[in-house]
Structure 1
Amino acid sequence: MPDVIVLATGGTIASRHDDSGAAVAADSGADLLGSAGEVAGVTVTVRDVVRADSSALTLEQLDAIRAAVGEALSSPDVAGVVVTHGTDTMEETSLLVDLAHADPRPVVFTGAQHPADSPNADGPANLAGAIAVAADPAYRGLGVLLSFAGEVQTVRGLAKVSTTAPQPFSGGLPVAELAGSAPHRLLARNAPIADVRVDVVASYPGADGVLVDAAVAADARGIVLVGTGSGNTTVALADAVRRAIDAGVVVVVSTRIVAGPVDAAYGGGGGAADLVAAGAILSRRLRPGQARIVLLALLAGGVAPRWIEAYLGR
């Protein structure tokens, strides 16, 4: 009988409404497993790592979650690991784990769109499904996965695109389309990210360079620029990007648009072509949250900018 370890970290799946009507993380991992019920043919062990809304997670807590996954997989008797997590930042934490996950055994993230005390609670079914995926040898060698609303996706490229839909995520590769072959993944060193500062700055009409300059002054080692369209910005913000790069800061360009590649198609002083000419790196597929995680992990691991570009440029 396969053994699966469930790591509980809070999130909506563990939340209940307090006296004010707000949902707050309350349930333990044992509570979650009790609601999900038994999964036939699987032995499950639960460990509580964090109990928080994922929007409030710190980099130290992300490091702790990744370390807990590694510890869970230290036993050869474990078939796979499930991480219950809030949906707000699930795309970030799951990618961080994936970047250093060289073990063939599946690590499966799941969560919920409705709190545990909601009449529409979806957490129990999602957790039961994730446990079944983690125990199934058919999912070995595919990296870190998301199991949600009956669908299984890889996590690279994942983004939360709805606050209400039963399946809030898109952008990962559906496992059903992989035909048993793993997507190309580059691995990062398992180095703590808590002491690395990477800031996110958004572009918008009239944006100047104040926030980029402030990030540089705060000793940021990296900046993710959330561009408009295919990765474009204002002339003033592009000038600030040049100053940041000249100061030794790695600047990665993503976009606020949900779908489509980031591309150096436009110039004019603030287009992505101008940013690339200044030395910025395009995150062609990953959206800002995941681009920041890649930048954090690779900077923490001492990876040179050219390898950051090699990863994000795929």
Structure 2
Amino acid sequence: MSHIALVRTGGTIASSRDEDGISRPGASELGIEFAAEVKFRDLMSKDSSTFDFSDMDAVADEVARCFEDPACAGVIVLHGTDTMEETALLVDLFHDDPRPVVFTGAQRTSDHEDPDGPVNVAAAVEAVLDPANSSRGVLVVFGGRTLNARGLSKWHTSALDAFISSTEPRRVVPRVHIEGIRVDIVALYPGADAVAIDAYRAAGTNGIVLQALGSGNTNASVVAAVKTCTAEGIPVWVTTRVPDGSIAPTYGGGGGGADLVDAGAVFAPVLRAGQARVLLAVEIAASR
């Protein structure tokens, strides 16, 4: 008798509002009838904004444990939306089983007059049961959309269809744990200098992701700081603050993407900063 494993980690879908209207963790009832047998696995109860690499590792390990049971038809992970894109990517990097993994959650608390969580969970169950989703890797089912984990980003703070995804080719890598790896994100802006990069170097960073401008651009001061990092063996990856579209090192002039590449930086053409940080951490852990 097959079943779907449903892993609960917390998030808005598992929260309710107190007398002051503040969302607090603790709600457990989903209020839906499942279209298949579902086995609940309570992993943690946390707001995903508090997640670190050890929490993401724990989710990836739990998903792998679910698939040790041959009767498990697929896994649904209930997760907060703030860092869903990071954890979903981490699980996808190591998921080499044809059975689907589906992440979902909610924008509204469980006690909202019109909660979106039950609809999202019901859709996630349907996605697991759909044979077309076999061997597709990790999916995110949210707000009426079914999206690939690779290239996923949250585009809206409150809209029910909160996520978009740019296609990123899948490759599965051997399992590594990223706890203990430090990768920092530096947001760039007009007039940015080397202060943040130098501070992260002093703090012992293992890698840096630049959230650059436009198609992956900055200025000469940042380029010089990147060159210092790469000379010291600290990898620097480049993404963009623009929500959608791919990037490429097509500009020069001292602070363009081509100059960053000349300084030793690597472009992440599709992934945005959150997912690029996770992938870079995996690359660093694997190289060790």
- State the TM bucket, normalised to the shorter chain: over 0.9
> Which residue of 291, 298, 301 maps to 2:286?
301
Whether 2:21 is the aligned partner of 1:36: answer: no
Q: Secondary structure at the match of 1:274?
A: helix
Q: Which residue of 2 aligns with 1:56?
A: 50
Runs of 4+ aligned structure 1 residues displaced above 6 Å come to: none
The aligned amino acid for 1:81 is V
Q: Secondary structure at the match of 2:156?
A: coil
Report if the CA contact (8 A) 1:189-1:298 is conserved. no
Please give the per-residue CA displacement for 1:163-205, whole angstroms capped at 9, x wherever unaligned: 12221111245xxxxxxxxx84112221111111100001111
Question: How far apart in 2 are the matches of 1:195 and 1:71?
Answer: 22
The aligned amino acid for 1:289 is G
Q: Secondary structure at the match of 2:287?
A: coil
Q: Where in structure 2 are the equivalents of 1:109-124 lying within 5 Å?
A: 109-124=103-118
Query: How many equivalent pairs are there?
Result: 288
Q: Where in structure 2 are the equivalents of 1:1-314 lying within 5 Å?
A: 2-28=2-28, 31-32=29-30, 35-39=31-35, 42-173=36-167, 184-302=169-287
CA RMSD of aligned residues (A): 1.4
- 164-173 vs 140-149, which moves further: 164-173
Q: Secondary structure at the match of 1:7?
A: strand
Q: Secondary structure at the match of 2:174?
A: coil
Structure 2 runs not aligned, ≥5 long: none
Q: How high is the sequence identity, in percent, across the aligned residues? A: 45
Q: Which residue of 2 aligns with 1:311?
A: none
Measured after TM superposition, the shift of residue 298 of structure 1 is: 1.6
Please give the per-residue CA displacement for 1:61-89, whole angstroms capped at 9, x wherever unaligned: 11101100000111111000000011111
Q: Secondary structure at the match of 1:276?
A: helix
Question: How far apart in 2 are the matches of 1:138 and 1:208?
Answer: 49
Report if the CA contact (8 A) 2:166-2:270 is conserved. no
TM-score using structure 2 length: 0.96
Measured after TM superposition, the shift of residue 113 of structure 1 is: 1.1
Q: Which residue of 2 aligns with 1:307?
A: none
The aligned amino acid for 1:36 is I
Measured after TM superposition, the shift of residue 59 of structure 1 is: 1.2
TM-score using structure 1 length: 0.89
Structure 1 runs not aligned, ≥5 long: 174-182, 304-314
Q: Secondary structure at the match of 1:253?
A: strand
Report if the CA contact (8 A) 2:166-2:245 is conserved. no
Question: How far apart in 2 are the matches of 1:297 and 1:36?
Answer: 37
